[in-house]
């Protein structure tokens, strides 16, 4: 259930002004998510909004086209699950009529519009779906090469897949990014990613970054606007303090936007915890705490990581009791396996660095590792346990050895 809330919030943060070319797809996915959350009236509303968005977006003389195939299929699916078989069959008939009127250019493949929607939807899910999304985009583009947003999204999903696998972008991907950027000059999200790739290759592009930042701040607030990768670029390639300055300037322009508050909170956290050689002033820590409290209230169903960050920030402000309380409340809550791994991993590090309870810390790393769910946090806890075992200076090395042996079986 929590993953559905997280995805719902992500889609809401895209907004309705930025990325309008994908608005129909956003509403389609929102319809599915709201059904899964048991919000049936909202599911109906979003599927209807998706159909209208597609009609407006295509701006054609006809109200119907192949871009409505997935939406009509979704509406048939919804009516079927609600026991409304007559309505379901009516939409299935509409799907058949569209596919007959607009057949796929390739007899052995789905319609390119269907591939594009499948690809866009998979982009929003787990890392292992990214390469499949890229393949679907490629199929759609091969049959209908004039769709600029498909070309851009194909490049974005490739870049994302490489990043999540911690692989360096090759020259071929960089060239694809450059070409896509030229064909889609208004896509500032792609522009920032390209700038970031250039910086990793040693190019000096601070002037271009500043100009791009100004352009992004003039656009409507959206997770598609490029603000998040821009702030990451500044943190990694310019300075964390400048990243904070840009985040605060964005908030001055749009003080009520929750997505900007989330981005700004992350900048403060990175500055506080990753620059120990340059300790932050107390006012900076207080600002970070205030932002995280606000973000948690604005994302009540999808803020586990923010709560964990707030607990650690409390320890930086001599408010360890508040940090302990957050962890205790989370340890008593109902979490899915991956969320539990995240909690145990964070808590293990908190026990080690803040409470100086090394043995208890190891126990929680072992708990994270023992959950049979692949995730970054499980890998990280296993890596920490392996280092402790290799040093062989802890009385729990025998227990660690036994656990790691079972994980390899």
For residue 230, pLDDT beyond 90: yes
How far is the CA of 320 from the CAs of 278, 310, 354, 363, in angstroms?
A: 22, 11, 8, 21
DSSP 280: P
CATH class of 256-334: mainly alpha
Long-range contacts of 167-175 (CB under 8 A, 24+ apart): 168/200, 169/197, 169/200, 174/201
DSSP 333: S
How far is the CA of 18 from the CAs of 187, 212, 225, in angstroms?
A: 10, 16, 7
For residue 409, pLDDT beyond 60: no
For residue 273, pLDDT beyond 60: yes
Task: Tell me the helix, strand and coil percentages in the chain, rounded to 5.
Answer: 75, 0, 25
Q: What is the pLDDT of residue 130?
A: 86
Cα-Cα-Cα-Cα torsion 227, 118, 135, 100, nearest 10 degrees, comes to -140
Residue 268 CB coordination number (10 Å): 26
Cβ contacts of 380 within 8 Å, gap of 6 or more: 345
Structure tokens at 135: 């393949």
CB–CB of 229/213 below 8 Å? no
Mean pLDDT, rounded, for 356-376: 95
pLDDT, the chain, mean: 92
Q: Considering the chain, tell me which residue range(s) the CATH 1.25.40 domain(s) occupy.
A: 256-334
């Amino acid at each position: 259930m929590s993953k559905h809330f997280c995805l719902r919030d992500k889609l809401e943060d895209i907004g309705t002004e930025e990325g309008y070319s994908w608005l129909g797809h956003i509403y389609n996915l929102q319809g599915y998510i709201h059904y899964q959350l048991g919000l049936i009236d909202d599911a109906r509303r979003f599927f209807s909004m998706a159909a209208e968005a597609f009609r407006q977006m295509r701006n054609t003389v006809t109200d119907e086209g192949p871009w409505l195939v997935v939406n009509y299929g979704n509406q048939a699916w919804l009516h079927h699950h609600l026991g409304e078989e007559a309505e379901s069959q009516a939409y299935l008939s509409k799907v058949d009529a569209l596919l007959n009127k607009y057949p796929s250019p390739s007899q052995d493949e789905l319609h390119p519009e269907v591939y594009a929607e499948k690809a866009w939807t998979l982009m929003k899910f787990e890392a292992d779906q990214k390469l499949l999304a890229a393949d679907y985009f490629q199929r759609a583009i091969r049959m209908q090469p004039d769709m600029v947003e498909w070309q851009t999204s194909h490049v974005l999903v490739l870049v994302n897949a490489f990043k999540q696998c911690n692989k360096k972008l090759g020259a071929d991907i960089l060239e694809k990014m450059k070409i896509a950027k030229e064909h889609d000059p208004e896509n500032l999200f792609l522009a920032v990613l390209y700038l970031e790739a250039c910086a990793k290759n040693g190019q000096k592009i601070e002037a271009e970054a500043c100009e791009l930042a100004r352009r992004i701040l003039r656009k409507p607030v959206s997770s598609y606007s490029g603000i998040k990768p821009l702030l990451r670029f500044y943190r990694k390639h310019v300075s964390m303090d400048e990243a904070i300055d840009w985040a605060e300037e964005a908030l001055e322009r749009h003080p009520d936007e929750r997505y900007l508050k989330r981005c700004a909170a992350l900048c403060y956290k990175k500055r506080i915890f990753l620059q120990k050689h340059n300790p932050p002033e107390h006012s900076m820590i207080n600002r970070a705490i205030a932002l995280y409290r606000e973000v948690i209230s604005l994302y009540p169903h999808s803020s586990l990581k923010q709560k964990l960050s707030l607990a650690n920030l409390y320890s930086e402000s001599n408010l360890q009791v508040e940090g302990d309380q957050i962890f205790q409340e989370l340890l008593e809550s109902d979490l899915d396996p991956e969320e539990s791994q995240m909690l145990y991993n964070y808590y293990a590090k908190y026990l080690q660095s803040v409470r100086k309870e090394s043995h208890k810390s190891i126990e929680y790393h072992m708990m994270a590792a023992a959950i049979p769910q692949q995730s970054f946090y499980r890998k990280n806890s296993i890596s920490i346990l392996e280092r402790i075992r290799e040093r062989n200076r802890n009385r729990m090395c025998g227990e660690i050895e036994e656990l790691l042996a079972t994980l390899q079986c």
